[in-house]
Chain A
Amino acid sequence: SQQGEEDPQALSIQEGENATMNCSYKTSINNLQWYRQNSGRGLVHLILIRSNEREKHSGRLRVTLDTSKKSSSLLITASRAADTASYFCATGWDSGNTPLVFGKGTRLSVIA
């Protein structure tokens, strides 16, 4: 399976601190996406990074991808209480008929 595995499973930080979550996967990928899920809600797309990219930014989000290590990281800078949510990575491989595969998520708690 090319399922991503997020690490840590849970993370608790103070407001204003940076939060880093990692995603490791097993097989080659074309792209990797990060999603956010607030409690009791559906997932919302945050950012996509393609296999030929090493880093992308979107607002307070920074995503890196290291294909040699088969890993990605999501950094949220200057975290806010509203960032409290679960974060999932999803890996994609467009050869054949393989749908996007989601990891189990990191639960982030930002304490005000």
Chain B
Amino acid sequence: NAGVTQTPKFQVLKTGQSMTLQCAQDMNHEYMSWYRQDPGMGLRLIHYSVGAGITDQGEVPNGYNVSRSTTEDFPLRLLSAAPSQTSVYFCASSITRQTGNTIYFGEGSWLTVV
């Protein structure tokens, strides 16, 4: 049972490049989400999904796309990277969207856009 797995761990992009952050969970969780963490800003929700085929926007969705074709996978796509997207990204999952459930986090992906 690996939990929530994110790849890559570190990535440097040039402005305008695109990339996908991968996220997979093996706990059969319905709910998956992506956060970004910036100094002094805490965790901010980018996108989330309550089940396969269903996604919704969080607090800071601009510049990011997501899809949920399977229960296990929830990739985050940066369409045209900007320096403002330099951040640490965390994928997370919980058994359902109910907020009383424990959220399990991946180990993070450090992204630098130059």
Are A44's CB and B43's CB within 8 A? no
B38-94 contacts to A (CB < 8 Å): 40-43, 45, 48, 56, 58, 90, 92
Query: For the complex, is B1 an interface residue (Cβ under 8 Å from A)?
Result: no
Taken residue by residue from 38 to 81, chain A's Cβ proximity to chain B (1 for < 8 Å, 0 otherwise) reads as 00111111001010000000000000000000000000000000
Output the nearest chain B residue to A47 by Cβ-Cβ distance. Answer: B102
Are B40's CB and A99's CB within 8 A? no
B3-48 contacts to A (CB < 8 Å): 4, 33, 35, 40-43, 45, 48
A-chain residues with CB within 8 Å of residue B100 when the two chains form the complex: 30-31, 48, 50, 92, 94
Are B42's CB and A94's CB within 8 A? no
Are A97's CB and B56's CB within 8 A? yes
Output the nearest chain B residue to A46 by Cβ-Cβ distance. Answer: B102
The residues of A with any CB-CB pair to B shorter than 8 Å are 3, 30-31, 33, 35, 40-45, 48, 50, 88, 90-94, 97-105
A-B contact pairs, 8 of them (CB 8 A): A42-B90, A43-B43, A44-B105, A45-B102, A90-B103, A94-B99, A100-B103, A104-B41
- The 7 A-B pairs with the shortest beta carbon distances in the complex, nearest first, are A92-B99, A42-B105, A104-B42, A102-B43, A45-B102, A43-B105, A31-B100
